[in-house]
A and B are shown apart, each in its own frame.
Chain A
Amino acid sequence: MTRQIRYLSPTGVLGVGFSEDHFLAALERDIAFIGCDAGSTDGGPANLGGNMPFFSRGAIKRDLRILLKGARGIDVPLMIGSCGGSGGDWNLNWVWEIVQEIASEEKLHFKTALIASEPDRELLLAKYRAGRFRALEPAPDIDEDTLRDADHIVAMMGAEAYQEALANGAQVILAGRSTDAAIFAAIPVARGFPPGLCWHAAKIMECGGAAVVTMNKPEGMLCTITDDYFELEPVSPEQRCSPLSVAAHALYETGDPYLMREPGGVMDLTHARYEASGERMVRVWGSEFRPEPYTVKLEGATRIGYRAMVLGGVRDPVILGQFDSWFGGLQDRIRENIEAVYGQSMAGQYRIDFKLYGHSGVLGPREPDLGRTPHEVGVLMVTLADTQEVAYAIAGQAAHMVLHHAVPEWQGLVSNLAFPIAPHFWSLGPAYQFVLNHVVELDDPLELHRFRYEEI
């Protein structure tokens, strides 16, 4: 009989939910482990920079409770990657606290590995000085200060980190920032299944049941890997995979549908073949993996100031008929007014970003349809300054200037903005920026990550 390994990915991202009954049925299928990705950079740099989880505590706890009880019930490893969304140390600890709470409530006992992914800064600086950084395309310019000043920097761990934790007896692995596929490739690769199949399968499985024909709700996926192919089966009996739906998954959020880089090499899907297996399953083979020198990708977020905002709508047809010239003059007047009120020293100490909905709010400078007369325009102004106090003050000043900016055809004091929210300007807190799109070459896959083991 051909050997095989089967595993379960219960949902595409921890906290988004899944059906408990389908999950429980999947546990009966002789699975070797459960993996779940919890990461996303969709929320922007604040999740990493500002210690913010991507989903709510309640949502994470609901999903984790079902996963922990399920995994312990059949005694298989549960591996969660990129804990808390960004995988920063704060985010990892936030998930660890939830896990401890669930264990106590459910009277569960297990050994947990916590793999922290924020490298020691001196170690990173040493790598940088040794010329071990490589910029990805496109990457911002960096220097030593970039590495010192970032609020948080995470290194995306590969499959080796999970393998290390499992070798040390971990039953539950909570990982900081991780490549999504590493969670699912770790065990199949360690058991000697073909790396091309293991990595390609992992790349699909990290999205849970997303590679189905119609994803009407988030559910999981089962994957069976043999020495010749891997086979995908949605856990929900109402969902099915097709060769097209599985092949199309290589497009989602990827820069290149054929070549995908992982820490220890590149997966090459050029020769992958997809074939229906029964009504709901798809079989895949031909995927390759080429080992390359070991690199891990870094993500970093740095605080760039504090923001405040104003939102108002313009409906006056007299303004709208000449919106660009009216608004162009206004931006200069705002600048003059702020410098008059707060002093010349204010010049260059703040910025205001304008988003003009109904005009160019979504595409910005790429908007091809300028020149039409809109029937209303939403004016969103976001200020950025070194302190919250200044950002807030400038937002108020800008709101006032737009509100009363003269319209040539009208005489007397005008009120140009309809404010939908009271008060009409408000503070948004700190703002962050992604500052790294680089990989760092390692001598040992584990040298940037820190392991800790806890028995509950």
Chain B
Amino acid sequence: MARLRDLAKLIRTKNAGPFQLTMDIMFPDAPTYRHVADSGVVSVALIAGMFKVAPGQVKLFHYDPANAIKITIPRQVTSGDPADTDLFGGQQFAPLTDVEVPDFPAPRHA
């Protein structure tokens, strides 16, 4: 099985304002994007478990115009708080990189 880092052209996180963290998983073409999006591996449940937030706090978008899956969650603490570990939120995507994606279906032969 391929990992998200093998299929995506960019996986990133960044603050969306001081109270939210947003993640973009961007794919190089529509078929790869569709395959990953349709596989359902990047789900509210996966993100809630990985980032330790309640499922109701996860906003997940399939953004077709840029072949991207986007997720926004609350920050653990506001940016710059004494307990904050990542002021810009730029390195929080790391656990996403190794998420495994089911293989593409084998090509059908007539």
Instruction: Check B83–A362 contact: CB distance below 8 A.
Output: no
Binds B, one of A24-32, A68-76, A119-127, A255-263: A255-263
Q: Does B32 contact A (CB under 8 A)?
A: no
Instruction: Check B68–A251 contact: CB distance below 8 A.
Output: yes
Instruction: Check A363–B95 contact: CB distance below 8 A.
Output: yes
Q: Does A139 contact B (CB under 8 A)?
A: yes
Tell me the minimal C-beta distance from A297 to chain B in angstroms: 9
Partner of A46, one of B80, B82, B83, B88: B80
Whose C-beta in chain B lies nearest to the C-beta of A382? B82
How far is A258 from B68 in the complex, measured between Cα atoms in Å?
12
How far is A43 from B18 in the complex, measured between Cα atoms in Å?
10
What chain A residues lie within 8 Å of B68 (beta carbons)?
A: 248, 251, 257
How far is A251 from B22 in the complex, measured between Cα atoms in Å?
9
What chain B residues lie within 8 Å of A140 (beta carbons)?
A: 78
Q: Does A355 contact B (CB under 8 A)?
A: yes
Interface residues of A in 39-65 (CB under 8 A from B): 41-46
What chain A residues lie within 8 Å of B15 (beta carbons)?
A: 41-42, 253
Instruction: Check B85–A42 contact: CB distance below 8 A.
Output: no
Contact of A251 with B63 at beta-carbon distance under 8 Å, contacts A363-B95, A366-B51 already known: yes
Whose C-beta in chain A lies nearest to the C-beta of B52? A366
Instruction: Check A362–B18 contact: CB distance below 8 A.
Output: no
Instruction: Check A363–B85 contact: CB distance below 8 A.
Output: yes
Q: Chain B, 40-82, contact with A by CB distance < 8 Å: what is the 0/1 string?
A: 0000000000111000010101010111101010101011111
How far is A351 from B77 in the complex, measured between Cα atoms in Å?
15
Instruction: Check B78–A255 contact: CB distance below 8 A.
Output: no
Instruction: Check B95–A368 contact: CB distance below 8 A.
Output: yes
Q: Chain B, 19-38, contact with A by CB distance < 8 Å: what is the 0/1 string?
A: 11010101000000000000
What chain A residues lie within 8 Å of B22 (beta carbons)?
A: 251, 253-255
Instruction: Check A248–B19 contact: CB distance below 8 A.
Output: no
Interface residues of B in 81-104 (CB under 8 A from A): 81-88, 91-92, 94-95
What chain B residues lie within 8 Å of A247 (beta carbons)?
A: 63, 65-66
Q: Does A250 contact B (CB under 8 A)?
A: yes
What chain B residues lie within 8 Å of A279 (beta carbons)?
A: none
Q: Does A384 contact B (CB under 8 A)?
A: yes
Q: Does A18 contact B (CB under 8 A)?
A: no
Instruction: Check A437–B91 contact: CB distance below 8 A.
Output: no
How far is A43 from B79 in the complex, measured between Cα atoms in Å?
8
Whose C-beta in chain A lies nearest to the C-beta of B95? A368
Instruction: Check B86–A362 contact: CB distance below 8 A.
Output: yes
Interface residues of A in 112-136 (CB under 8 A from B): 136
How far is A123 from B85 in the complex, measured between Cα atoms in Å?
36
Q: Does B16 contact A (CB under 8 A)?
A: yes
Instruction: Check B79–A44 contact: CB distance below 8 A.
Output: yes
Q: Does A434 contact B (CB under 8 A)?
A: yes
Interface centre among B15, B52, B65, B66 (most CB of A within 10 A): B65
Partner of B92, one of A44, A256, A363, A384: A363
Instruction: Check A366–B95 contact: CB distance below 8 A.
Output: yes
How far is A252 from B12 in the complex, measured between Cα atoms in Å?
10
Instruction: Check B82–A431 contact: CB distance below 8 A.
Output: yes
Q: Does B14 contact A (CB under 8 A)?
A: yes
Partner of A138, one of B19, B52, B84, B91: B19
Partner of A248, one of B52, B59, B66, B78: B66
What chain B residues lie within 8 Å of A138 (beta carbons)?
A: 19-20, 57, 74
Partner of B76, one of A353, A365, A382: A365
Whose C-beta in chain A lies nearest to the C-beta of B74? A138
How far is A248 from B28 in the complex, measured between Cα atoms in Å?
12
Instruction: Check A41–B66 contact: CB distance below 8 A.
Output: no
Instruction: Check A255–B16 contact: CB distance below 8 A.
Output: yes
17 A-B contacts (beta carbon < 8 Å): A41-B18, A42-B15, A43-B80, A44-B79, A44-B84, A45-B18, A138-B19, A250-B65, A251-B70, A255-B17, A364-B76, A364-B85, A368-B95, A384-B82, A433-B78, A437-B17, A437-B19
Interface residues of A (CB under 8 A from B): 41-46, 136-140, 243-244, 247-248, 250-258, 272, 274, 299, 304, 307, 351, 353, 355, 361-366, 368, 382, 384, 431-434, 437
Interface residues of B (CB under 8 A from A): 14-20, 22, 24, 26, 50-52, 57, 59, 61, 63, 65-68, 70, 72, 74, 76, 78-88, 91-92, 94-95
